[in-house]
Chain A
């Protein structure tokens, strides 16, 4: 079962920042937060991941609260092509056989409007 909670849908105006929240209140100390997106039934696309520090790459920023119970994915300047389902995933701790498994929830459907 997914260990994350996300709003089912969000809207954003083109050019604005899209802030997608995720709750993961039961996260363990050595579990990472991963974000993926799926555009129109294509294969999921990796966006970013983090452990406790904020992270930024060319696609997005990830802000993780100090208690690690929630995080926010930020797309700084959303475009129409960012319309997708965004998945927040808690990655099992390394070492167990389930480490390779990603548990996808329902995600957030982000719609970017012109």
Chain B
């Protein structure tokens, strides 16, 4: 998973707090994707972004979740007012064009 950097690796939040997950894509990659993996479940697509644009957010929950990929800096997945059901591993991936993903090592979010 060299190249896609996600931080923090582990994040603990109390119910009602905000969680910010950061993803720095491989240098030169302008496409970023976020996936969520709930405990004992498969990966589920959340959102696909290109620089400053959301291309496909069909997997994002309608409330409390947002994502951005600004012109400068990392992509951010933001979860407001976290609940216990948000506890999961969140993976980011990037690609130069549409082909070929490189995934990061993920952020493990625990809501207590």
Q: Quick check: B59 and A102 within 8 Å, CB to CB?
A: no
Question: Chain A residues in contact with chain B, CB under 8 A?
Answer: 38, 41-46, 87, 94, 97-107
Q: Is the CB of A99 within 8 A of B43?
A: no
Contact between B105 and A43 (Cβ–Cβ < 8 Å)? yes
Q: Is A94 within 8 A of B91, CB to CB?
A: no
Q: Identify the B interface with A (CB < 8 A).
A: 1, 4, 31, 33, 35, 37, 42-45, 48, 55-56, 58-59, 89, 91, 93, 95, 98, 100-106
B1 lies within 8 A of A45 (CB): yes
Known: A42-B1, A43-B104, A45-B103. A104 touches B43 (CB 8 A): yes
Complex Cα distance, B34 from A80, in Å, reads 29
Q: How far is it, in angstroms, between the C-alpha of A107 and the C-alpha of B106 when the chains are bound?
A: 19
Complex Cα spacing A94 to B100, Å: 13
Identify the closest chain B residue to A107 (Cβ): B42
Contact of A99 with B98 in the complex, beta carbons under 8 Å: yes
CA distance A87 to B101 in the complex (A): 14
Chain B residues contacting A98 (CB-CB under 8 Å) are: 56, 58
